[in-house]
Structure 1
Amino acid sequence: MGAVALITTAVVQNKPLPKNMKYGIVLDAGSSHTSVYIYEWPAEKENDTGVVQQIDACKVDGNGISSYAHDPPVAGLSLQKCMDKAREVIPEQQQRETPVYLGATAGMRLLRLNNATLADEVLSSVGSTLRSYPFEFQGARIITGQEEGAYGWITINYLLGNFLENSGWLGRLKQSATFGALDLGGASTQITFVSKKEIESQENSLHFRLYGKSYDVYTHSYLCYGKDQALRRQIAYTIPDANNSTILDPCFNSGYRRNTSTKDLYSSPCIAQQRISTAPSNIEIKGTGNYQLCKQKVEMIFNKTQCTYSQCSFNGIFQPNLEGEFGAFSAYYFVMDFLKLTNEKISLERVKEAVKTHCSRPWEEVLKEFPKIKEKYLSEYCFSGTYILSLLENGFGFNSENWKDISFLGKIKGSDAGWTLGYMLNLTNMIPAELPYSPPLSHGSYIGLMVFFSILLVFIILTCWLSLRKPKCLQKGII
């Protein structure tokens, strides 16, 4: 009985504790597509912020939800496949308490500028679909550009471990330096970093508290400066030079041709001021593949003539001096990865040479080498590479010296670099911390019982041994 009690106590006390996990779903409704990210974190939080990690992701078929403005109900239906997958991933017993958030970015910001009613109808459609699932729907909204930039900054610094303190060789705690964040989408681009200099424009200043520490960051989002909208603007600048409805465009490989409707081109609010009433209804674009000429056209997009602050990036927007290292993700990564420029620290000169080389290649040669890439994306890498260089160098102020401080990031520790994880991290601050599962006995009680049962077991064994052992005198008498 003593042995049974001892073993039972040890087994019950030391059996594996059940996982007390929480789950969350964030939908990134971008201008070109929508992605669904599934996260989990332990209910017992660390310094009031959940330790969140991505466990799955799903890319929604089709374009972004803003493209369904002509038929809003389809926007909601497009999410069903990925939401069905989320229902399979998250344990059924925890689905009712799993929050779902949809954040729409620059594509929906532009739609709201064009037609606020249609934007509301699209959000209503996706909201109806998300409510039909057994999750805790928390809303579908258009996030601001500043939020998008700041949450992206949170994401990469969390994944790189920059929010937690490390022990120095003297045993003292020191805080890691944070990375700046460079995000490039289809309709907007964001830059965010911690600056030691005073932020002169309050609309570019945000405050965060994560893992018990406060951070003041500079951030700005440039609507209409995503790569897709920038391409529209570059084409629009070329229309006045069109000859017989044909444009010779140096930002496409030589031999490439594309027909474009000017009605569709001018439908974006980003180029409303460039509209030409006498423009032909359709234009044909013929690529000439010239990096230097393409660069000249791209630089026309940036206005650096006006600045009411001590210093600006472009378009009169205040920007302090660049500080520290930067992580560039989203379209930055995809374009540089295509050009094979993400695996190591590469000089600015080498990047320019790689983009120049790609732009000079004939379209037939490029098409033959990359048959699996969609023609639309493949045809735009010359422009995208040139635009990224111009944006970082001419727009934000990177140069040959600090270019090495940029790291192009796709995934970090299995999680996608982007704003959604940062969004989830910030939201977990509002989820009350729960007590962790604990063993049935306290440590002191467990040790006390183990000692008691051990002494009891030894006493019982000793007693049994003494009672069964015959005295030596009796043994001699029997002999």
Structure 2
Amino acid sequence: MVSFPPKSALTTPLPTTHTNANLSSTHLDSLDQEDDFELEMSLANSALNGRRNSDKERGSHPFRALTPKRVALIAGSVLLLIFWFGKGTGGGRDGYAAGSTSTEIAPKEAEVAVSKLPPSSPQKQPGASSKKCTPPPGQKATTYALMIDAGSTGSRLHLYTFSHCDPTPGALPKLEDEGFYTTKPGLSSYAGRPKEAAKSLRSLMQHAVGAKGVPEKERSCTPVAVKATAGLRLLGERESQEILREVERWLTEEWPFTVVEDGVTIMDGRDEGVYAWITINSLLGLIGPSDALPSNSAAIMDLGGASTQIVFEPTFSPKSPSKLAPGDHVYDLDFAGQDHVLYQHSHLGYGLMQARRAVHNLVAFSYVWQSAPKGKPVVWEDLTTKDRIPNPCMFKDESKIVSLDPPGREAVQVTMVGTGAGFEACRRVVEVMIAKDAACEEPPCAFAGVYQPQLGEVFSAGKVWALSYFYDRIAPLGLTSPFSISSLRTLTSNVCAGRSSPTWSRFKGNAEAKHELDDRPEYCLDLTFMLSLLSLGYELEEERMVWMGKQVNGVELGWALGAALAMVQGHLSCRAD
């Protein structure tokens, strides 16, 4: 059973002293959402090269255990059909015609308003300043929490203000306010210099004690945690632990806040997905101590650059012989006094940017494989940007220089040129990459041989939320939330038909869509991968509805809030100095 905060596995408590902090502050720009991508890609590539061989990563990438010869044979046979027969505009599947149009308008906001939240959502509760605020016994009306996201290129401080106005014992708090501050570079930039790494967080902590920070009388009871991600994972055990130990010492000795047990750590990938699950389900009022909560929590499908995560709470019929198989995918969560048994998995290598690379590699292998019968054999190591390789997943005649780096072959760069073959042609390539038919050692499997209970059987009624790149690529094109898988199929088919196709009339008057599609020759590839991941990989039915968004009532749908809620729901105590 996992409870929050978990018991420390890092250090023993350290003695505490204080020094006066410099209260000058610096305005810092927000970090781009793709800042961590290159380091995440390095992690993914490390896994592909055999550096991480645990059972939980089995089947985590489409090229695992595929030799160049095997890939060439698969890609060649499949892509030969594509190039011979897939040069039409590309129609939909199962009756979803490419010519369908939509009058949907791109959403003006990426958030769900308070008025649309269920009564059980804590965001519907009155604020701490309201006369209707009745805190639970022994609970202050207002509390604070500090969560530092230590990414690879920078660190971000989330300063949360919570109100506790639901008198139900253990009720989830309402998020009243979030301060967000950033600094660069990230902790991983200070390899071998742990003291400098810790001090790099000074500007963030100055905000926490500044005029808009935590009131002085509340600081000793305010928890702080640091969750590191991709960057520190790459440093190796010794150097990363040196930095984390120094950060914990520095926070404890120089700042007045309570460093929670096991609060300064490298976050496990499974925790990241679960924290995001907590964020959404708490904001929507789907989890908590109340008996009046809906019976079904929401699932999340988060698509990053290097990996994609799925987290949901399966429900098995008492009469069904099927149960959740044991393994690393099981996450026992004790949250707000309630027990949840979650299924979670992070598919390393199936993020959007890795999917692009995998498709490009497949197309290039086919190109090389087909060259020999034509009497002009191409040597992989001789490929350069002068080689213009036809790609069915790109718009007709549009080109892009791409990097190819399949296992067992030298990294090269080539120029991919779109054939405009359309949706069906692109789909056939993408579905090879998804590896739906990979060996499944413990059925049922989603894709790439990874065990997962079938959503149609154990999660038929719950809402599915698609986050991150799902939203970034789909929402600007006018598909509003919630959307059906069939409507996403139609949108994908329309986009893949190309800029000169009549189907692009659906974007008429949509400046956001036109801006999004400009200079992105791989948009067909991106949408086809997302559709295939949802429909083929996770087996969502054609009429299954999917919700997407960036915010709920102005609150970002990321892992940080979930981690903070888990932290404040734990058994916290004020520091005594």
TM-superposed deviation, 1:161: 0.6
Structure 2 gaps of 5+ residues are 1-130, 317-322, 369-382
Q: 1:101 aligns with which of 222, 225, 235?
A: 225
Whether 1:159 and 2:283 are equivalent positions in the alignment is yes
CA–CA distance in structure 1, aligned partners of residues 300 and 153 of structure 2: 21
Whether 1:357 and 2:494 are equivalent positions in the alignment is yes
Using a 3 Å threshold, how does the CA distance of structure 1 residues 428 and 92 change in structure 2: closer, same or farther?
Answer: closer
Where 2:475 maps in the other structure, the secondary structure is helix
TM-superposed deviation, 1:253: 3.6
TM-superposed deviation, 1:312: 0.8
CA–CA distance in structure 1, aligned partners of residues 144 and 466 of structure 2: 27
Counterpart mapping for 1:123-272 below 5 A:
135-137=257-259, 139-164=263-288, 173=292, 175-197=294-316, 198-240=323-365, 241=367, 244-262=386-404, 266=405
Whether 1:425 and 2:556 are equivalent positions in the alignment is no
Do the aligned partners of 1:22 and 1:98 also contact (CA within 8 Å) in 2?
A: yes
TM-superposed deviation, 1:311: 0.8
1:233-280 deviations in Å (ceiling 9; x for gaps): 222323332675333333344454433455xxx4xxxx5xx2413x54
Q: 2:479 aligns with which of 341, 345, 365?
A: 341
Using a 3 Å threshold, how does the CA distance of structure 1 residues 164 and 251 change in structure 2: closer, same or farther?
Answer: same
Do the aligned partners of 1:298 and 1:387 also contact (CA within 8 Å) in 2?
A: yes
Using a 3 Å threshold, how does the CA distance of structure 1 residues 229 and 421 change in structure 2: closer, same or farther?
Answer: same
Using a 3 Å threshold, how does the CA distance of structure 1 residues 101 and 239 change in structure 2: closer, same or farther?
Answer: farther
Whether 1:301 and 2:433 are equivalent positions in the alignment is yes
Do the aligned partners of 1:29 and 1:104 also contact (CA within 8 Å) in 2?
A: yes
TM-score by length of 1: 0.68
CA–CA distance in structure 1, aligned partners of residues 355 and 184 of structure 2: 22
Do the aligned partners of 1:336 and 1:408 also contact (CA within 8 Å) in 2?
A: no
For residue 317 of structure 1, what is the aligned residue in structure 2? 450
Whether 1:291 and 2:428 are equivalent positions in the alignment is no
Where 2:310 maps in the other structure, the secondary structure is strand
User: How many pairs align?
Assistant: 395
CA–CA distance in structure 2, aligned partners of residues 101 and 182 of structure 1: 25
TM-superposed deviation, 1:302: 2.1
TM-superposed deviation, 1:223: 1.6
Do the aligned partners of 2:398 and 2:418 also contact (CA within 8 Å) in 1?
A: yes
Do the aligned partners of 2:233 and 2:240 also contact (CA within 8 Å) in 1?
A: no
For residue 326 of structure 1, what is the aligned residue in structure 2? 464
Using a 3 Å threshold, how does the CA distance of structure 1 residues 35 and 356 change in structure 2: closer, same or farther?
Answer: farther
Do the aligned partners of 2:418 and 2:521 also contact (CA within 8 Å) in 1?
A: no
Using a 3 Å threshold, how does the CA distance of structure 1 residues 357 and 162 change in structure 2: closer, same or farther?
Answer: same
Do the aligned partners of 2:146 and 2:225 also contact (CA within 8 Å) in 1?
A: yes
What amino acid does structure 2 have at the position aligned with 1:285?
A: M
Do the aligned partners of 2:187 and 2:232 also contact (CA within 8 Å) in 1?
A: no
TM-superposed deviation, 1:58: 3.3
TM-superposed deviation, 1:400: 0.8
What amino acid does structure 2 have at the position aligned with 1:386?
A: T
Using a 3 Å threshold, how does the CA distance of structure 1 residues 125 and 175 change in structure 2: closer, same or farther?
Answer: same
Where 1:400 maps in the other structure, the secondary structure is coil
For residue 524 of structure 2, what is the aligned residue in structure 1? 382
For residue 23 of structure 2, what is the aligned residue in structure 1? none
TM-superposed deviation, 1:175: 4.8
Where 2:360 maps in the other structure, the secondary structure is helix
CA–CA distance in structure 1, aligned partners of residues 426 and 248 of structure 2: 42
Do the aligned partners of 2:145 and 2:568 also contact (CA within 8 Å) in 1?
A: no
Using a 3 Å threshold, how does the CA distance of structure 1 residues 301 and 142 change in structure 2: closer, same or farther?
Answer: farther
Using a 3 Å threshold, how does the CA distance of structure 1 residues 349 and 42 change in structure 2: closer, same or farther?
Answer: closer
TM-superposed deviation, 1:331: 2.0
CA–CA distance in structure 1, aligned partners of residues 268 and 332 of structure 2: 15
Where 2:486 maps in the other structure, the secondary structure is helix
TM-superposed deviation, 1:124: 7.6
**Structure showing greater relative contact order (alpha-carbon pairs closer than 8 Å, 6 or more residues apart):** 2
TM-superposed deviation, 1:420: 1.9
Using a 3 Å threshold, how does the CA distance of structure 1 residues 26 and 178 change in structure 2: closer, same or farther?
Answer: same
Do the aligned partners of 1:257 and 1:284 also contact (CA within 8 Å) in 2?
A: yes
Counterpart mapping for 1:1-80 below 5 A:
20-29=141-150, 35-42=156-163, 47-48=169-170, 50-53=172-175, 55-58=177-180, 60=182
Where 1:286 maps in the other structure, the secondary structure is strand
Q: 2:214 aligns with which of 88, 91, 106?
A: 91
- What's the % identity of the aligned pairs? 27
Where 1:307 maps in the other structure, the secondary structure is coil
Counterpart mapping for 1:389-428 below 5 A:
389-401=531-543, 403-404=544-545, 406-428=546-568
Using a 3 Å threshold, how does the CA distance of structure 1 residues 196 and 130 change in structure 2: closer, same or farther?
Answer: same
CA–CA distance in structure 2, aligned partners of residues 136 and 120 of structure 1: 20
CA–CA distance in structure 1, aligned partners of residues 184 and 521 of structure 2: 19
